Amino acid sequence: MAASKNLVRSESGKIRRVVVVGGGLAGLTTVIKLCEAGVPVDLFSLVPVKRSHSVCAQGGINASVNTKGEGDSPQVHLEETAYGGDFLANQPPVKAMCDAAPGIVFLLDRMGVPFNRTPEGLLDFRRFGGTLFHRTAFAGATTGQQLLYALDEQVRRWETVDLEDDKGDRVPGEKMVRKFEAWDFVGLVLDDHGTCRGIVAQDLKNTEIKAFPGDAVCLATGGVGIIFGKSTNSVINTGTATSTAYQQGACYGNGECIQVHPTAIPGADKLRLISESVRGEGGRVWVPRDPTEQRRGRDVPESQREYFLEEKYPGYGNLVPRDIASRELFKKCFHEKRGVYNRQSGKNENEVYLDVTHIPSETLRKKLAGVLEIYEKFAGEDPYTNPMRVFPAVHYTMGGLWVDFERSANGSLVTGSPRNQATNIPGLYAVGEADYQYHGANRLGANSLLSCIWGGMATGPAIASYRKNLARSAWDMPSSLFERAEKREQKKYESILAMDGEENAYQLHQELAHTMLVDCTIERHNATLDKVLAKIDEIDGRMKRVGVTDTVQGKMNQGAQFVRHMQNMVVLARVIAQGARNRDESRGAHYKPDFPQRDDENFLRTTMAMHQGAENGSPATVRYVRELDYDLLGTPVHVTDAVDISLVKPRARKYDTAGAASAVAQSGPKASPAAQNAPAASTEKA
């Protein structure tokens, strides 16, 4: 069938919009790219997009601009990202991302992001984990917030831009972007061929459930940290949207790859992140050599401090990748019982010192004020004069919806290929932390903002070309398709409102989260994981006996909404735990003491999970596949779980010698006047 000619209006005269769900960096970039390609968008978000979780990113965004004359390049960035992820990421998308990074940072600068500057007025760059180069552009220590605001502003501008039809005439009353904020995604609209034709969403302010056609749908709904309860994630990061798509047939990739960040502070509701940039600017991690030490951190003399990361990893010191740093902190506190003494609780806590007191306060104020302010407000102690007390916390979802890519002749991506960022459900795309694509088994610091924005820059054009070649617009599908989907979701919601059992969904969440956090994060044991899986089944069963805490109809009802999110969290928890159980090796953030080595022969492959719904009273299960076929615009595409390692050959991953992470830069950065003031932290304090 030939693609329909009019790209603005459907045959029945409706405006042909696409749907983007999620308004963080990835979603907003996708929207901007679509608008520039002339594609009108309906943008859905749980919260006003300016409040998306991207605001929490602190440290910066990576781009090998090499303004310090260290010999950095996108090639080194690619190598270090692949190595940092322990070779589980397909390399062509990573190459495309690293090549695009300098342009992305310049673009953000043009959008008005107040990046820190050098004396010459150029962008300043700082160090981050897993590299020796100054590669991270930053706006104080609230870079994610500043990037989100810049993209939010551009999308707001598109909200005011009139839509033009294919002849270039303005369409009265129609703008390029329509925003639906405080709407919860509840399901995909799939036609009889399994093609995605739109979404069903719920207006949270009045609980109305409504279907929306979309020529394509893009999920940019972020990670799943709330499955682990208290984490560095925002309360909205439940993974409800990706879980729903998975339950409707989307493949989920590398679910077991969950990043634990080494440095966060305790809280009753959240574990607040203390950015890696603190160590990038010279912050040092230590514990007293004497475990019975009771003096305040600042009173412990230098000779009695053990800088354990610097001692064990002289090459990268405090800036080893997060999986390694988290394991070392965990070992220090749990296995060696060396956590520092806490004067408030009167005992040794599972915390280590993160110390910036040796750095001039003027430097701290200019480069780290945002994050030190968080420590001061929430820990109630001045980090300028007292070493901070920190511990690891669940932070980032490397896994996510499986997405495809089309490799170009030079090993990068074919620009605008409709395969890029496409899930196995035709017409459904995924981007940002919601996809699994860029970070392998461990993400390097400051690569997440980059992967979100780059992902959006790949997804926008991919959707535009998909839509161009689409035989029939979603806007020409029979209305019964959308009515059916709407009814299905209304019925589900009504069944939640009718739940009157004895269980409390919030308490069940706490139980699930506790199990996941304790037994499915830094160290994983098969016997324990079996218990985790049994616990997930148990909670799944008890979820059916929940009593909804709020039965109000037609008005904001967070209680009923939470039950839905919790149902979806249980499903993804199983994907994460079962994936961890199956992967009998150690790779990046996935670490099994019983299988301490990486096993490329058996496990250098993507974990591809498919949902198998509950049957005959037995709980839902996960079906793992080694390959799958999906239809793209009438052409079958065959993919396997093999990882594309065509650009950087896998080798053992070690961080004890400087420059180990990159073959082209074995010796590390070239000495340069600009770099001399920030060598590896181990030599920083004489």
Partner 1 sequence: MAQDKKVRLKVQRQDGPGLSSYWQEFELPWQPHMNVISALMEIQKRPLTADGKKTTPVVWESVCLEEVCGSCTMVINGRVRQSCSAMIDQLAPGGETITLQPMTKFPVVRDLMVDRARMFADLKRVKAWIQLDGSHELGAGPRQSQDNQETTYPLSRCMTCGCCLEACPQVNPSSDFVGPAAINQVRLFNLHPSGQMHAGERLDAVMGEGGVEGCGKAQNCVEVCPKEIPLVDSISSVGRDTTKRMLLGWLLK
Q: Which residues have a catalytic role annotated?
A: 322
Nearer to partner 1 by C-beta: 316 or 391? 391
The reply on whether position 41 binds partner 1 by CB under 8 A is no
Name the helix (H) or strand (E) containing 354: strand 352-355
Q: How many residues does this entry show for the chain? A: 686
Chain residues 336-375 in contact with partner 1, contact rule CB under 8 A: 344-345, 366, 370, 374
Considering only residues 10, 30, 52, 90, which one is a binding residue for partner 1 as defined by CB under 8 A?
52
Smallest gap from Cβ 491 to partner 1, in A, equals 23
What is the DSSP pairing of strand 272-273 with strand 258-265?
Answer: antiparallel
**Nearest by Cα to 607 from 584, 587, 589, 582:** 582
Chain residues 94-123 in contact with partner 1, contact rule CB under 8 A: 103, 106-107, 109-112, 114-123
Q: What is the DSSP letter of 662?
A: -
Smallest gap from Cβ 500 to partner 1, in A, equals 12
Smallest gap from Cβ 135 to partner 1, in A, equals 16
Nearer to partner 1 by C-beta: 155 or 199? 155
Smallest gap from Cβ 107 to partner 1, in A, equals 6
Considering only residues 17, 33, 338, 611, which one is a binding residue for partner 1 as defined by CB under 8 A?
33
Considering only residues 26, 43, 55, 251, which one is a binding residue for partner 1 as defined by CB under 8 A?
55
Smallest gap from Cβ 322 to partner 1, in A, equals 19
Nearer to partner 1 by C-beta: 490 or 504? 504
d(CA 229, CA 281): 30
The reply on whether position 145 binds partner 1 by CB under 8 A is yes
Type of residue at 88: L
Binding pattern to partner 1, positions 248-277, x when CB under 8 A? ------------------xxxxx-xx----
Stretch that binds partner 1, among 8-16, 320-328, 421-429, 551-559 (CB under 8 A): 551-559
Considering only residues 3, 337, 363, 378, which one is a binding residue for partner 1 as defined by CB under 8 A?
378
Smallest gap from Cβ 102 to partner 1, in A, equals 9
Smallest gap from Cβ 33 to partner 1, in A, equals 7
Binding pattern to partner 1, positions 189-228, x when CB under 8 A? ----------------x-----------------------
Opening angle at CA 599, ends 596 and 604, nearest 5: 130
Count of residues that bind partner 1 according to CB under 8 A:
74
User: Number of helices (H) and strands (E), helices first, in the chain?
Assistant: 15, 27
**Nearest by Cα to 438 from 97, 206, 138:** 97
Chain residues 121-140 in contact with partner 1, contact rule CB under 8 A: 121-123, 139-140
Six token digits for residue 130: 């897993």
SS3 451: helix
What is the DSSP pairing of strand 627-632 with strand 621-625?
Answer: unpaired
Nearer to partner 1 by C-beta: 262 or 668? 262
Binding pattern to partner 1, positions 531-550, x when CB under 8 A? ------------------xx
Binding pattern to partner 1, positions 585-614, x when CB under 8 A? ------------------------------
d(CA 58, CA 238): 21
Measured between alpha carbons, how far is residue 257 from residues 440, 578, 591, 637 in Å? 8, 12, 10, 26
Six token digits for residue 59: 């440290």
Chain residues 156-185 in contact with partner 1, contact rule CB under 8 A: 156-157, 159-160
The reply on whether position 582 binds partner 1 by CB under 8 A is no
Measured between alpha carbons, how far is residue 67 from residues 70, 125, 132, 267 in Å? 8, 8, 14, 39
Considering only residues 15, 47, 645, 647, which one is a binding residue for partner 1 as defined by CB under 8 A?
47
**Nearest by Cα to 284 from 342, 374, 355, 221:** 355
A 10 A CB-CB count for 166 gives 11
Considering only residues 234, 238, 243, 386, which one is a binding residue for partner 1 as defined by CB under 8 A?
234
Considering only residues 168, 360, 380, 478, which one is a binding residue for partner 1 as defined by CB under 8 A?
380
Smallest gap from Cβ 73 to partner 1, in A, equals 17
Which neighbouring-strand residues pair with 389? Answer: 353
State CA 66 to chain mean position distance.
26
Cβ atoms of residues 212 and 198 within 8 Å: yes
Chain residues 390-409 in contact with partner 1, contact rule CB under 8 A: none
DSSP letters of 202-224? EETTTTEEEEEE-SSEEE-----
Smallest gap from Cβ 34 to partner 1, in A, equals 11
Q: Which residues in 165-206 belong to E strands, given as ranges?
A: 170-175, 177-181, 183-190, 196-203
State CA 367 to chain mean position distance.
24
Residue 158 φ/ψ, nearest 5 degrees: -65, -25
Nearer to partner 1 by C-beta: 119 or 673? 119
Q: What is the DSSP letter of 55?
A: G
Cβ atoms of residues 422 and 602 within 8 Å: no
Nearer to partner 1 by C-beta: 103 or 541? 103
Smallest gap from Cβ 640 to partner 1, in A, equals 34
Binding pattern to partner 1, positions 496-525, x when CB under 8 A? --------x-xx--x---------------
Considering only residues 3, 6, 11, 153, which one is a binding residue for partner 1 as defined by CB under 8 A?
153
Nearer to partner 1 by C-beta: 160 or 618? 160
d(CA 22, CA 434): 10
Cβ atoms of residues 675 and 71 within 8 Å: no
Chain residues 610-649 in contact with partner 1, contact rule CB under 8 A: none
Considering only residues 3, 161, 552, 614, which one is a binding residue for partner 1 as defined by CB under 8 A?
552
